[in-house]
Amino acid sequence: MSRPEFDNFAATYDELLKDPIRDGFAGNPAFFHQRKRDLIRDYFQRNAVDTKRLSYLDVGCGKGELMSLLAADFRRVAGCDPSGGMLEAVQGVDVRVQTDPNRIPFDDAQFDFITAVCVYHHVPVAARAALTREVRRVLKPGGIFAIIEHNPWNPATRLIVKRTPVDVDAILLYPGETQSLLRDAGLPVRATSYFLYLPEGIYRLAGVVEDLLRHVPLGGQYAVFGRRERA
């Protein structure tokens, strides 16, 4: 099997993400992970779910920033990624290398909640449906899978992706494609939210505006939540 692509980027990953638009949008790159944490908290709050009793897996967790931010929210947190180089940065979390990128190294029906954040645009188009079915396998009945992706409807996102070295192979997913992936894998869509409209400084003052815009499909990124039926 060939060397995982992100092993080539792991040592200089944060440097490789630098971009004038991206850096101007957020004073601190941690903002991008914090926004995802807030979005996930918001989803569960809206559905009146107490996450403290739930288990959470981040597929394609990379350096594990989102897992760290959500560690205290869940009973159990775990991650996996094909790149051992990226996982070296993760501490204090059960992380496993995907020796086969199409296989998730956990048993069936283990998790209540799973995320894949900025992963699918690196997965070959022909492998995306099988990866989604594999996620469904490790999800408990009633569990939620959230795919978070760059939004190709946003011109700034497209420009940043075009010139970011780690995105050299990226094929972005339109929200409708992501919704179909979930649906076709037996994970009917429960919600779609668009976010990253406002730069960090404005968001911190007027985050409620982003909340009002969450159904408008122009945010820099979006999240689609699908649920494994109980039957």
Residues at the interface with ligand SAM (CB under 6 A): 4, 6, 59-62, 65, 81-83, 86, 98, 101, 117-119, 122-123, 131
Q: Which is nearer to ligand SAM, 2 or 230 (CB)?
A: 2
Which residues pair with residue 56 across a beta bridge?
A: 77, 113
Compute the least distance from the CB of residue 198 to ligand SAM, in Å.
20
Produce one character per residue of 182-206: b if its CB has 16 or more CB atoms within 10 Å, e if not: beebebebebbbbbbbbebeebeee
Is-contact 6 86, C-beta < 8 A? yes
Compute the least distance from the CB of residue 57 to ligand SAM, in Å.
11
Compute the least distance from the CB of residue 81 to ligand SAM, in Å.
5
List, in order, residues 6 or more apart from 115 with CB less than 8 Å away. 36, 40, 56, 57, 58, 59, 66, 145, 146, 147, 148
Q: Enter the tokens of residue 90.
A: 């993760």
Compute the least distance from the CB of residue 179 to ligand SAM, in Å.
20
Cα 212 from Cα 187, distance rounded (Å): 26
Is-contact 119 181, C-beta < 8 A? no
Cα angle 179, 181, 182; round to 5: 65
Q: Which is nearer to ligand SAM, 101 or 220 (CB)?
A: 101
To the nearest 10°, the Cα dihedral for 142, 144, 145, 150?
150
Q: Which is nearer to ligand SAM, 126 or 208 (CB)?
A: 126
Q: Which is nearer to ligand SAM, 62 or 226 (CB)?
A: 62
Compute the least distance from the CB of residue 82 to ligand SAM, in Å.
5
Q: Which is nearer to ligand SAM, 60 or 219 (CB)?
A: 60
Compute the least distance from the CB of residue 59 to ligand SAM, in Å.
5
The one-character DSSP state at 227 is E
Q: Which is nearer to ligand SAM, 6 or 194 (CB)?
A: 6
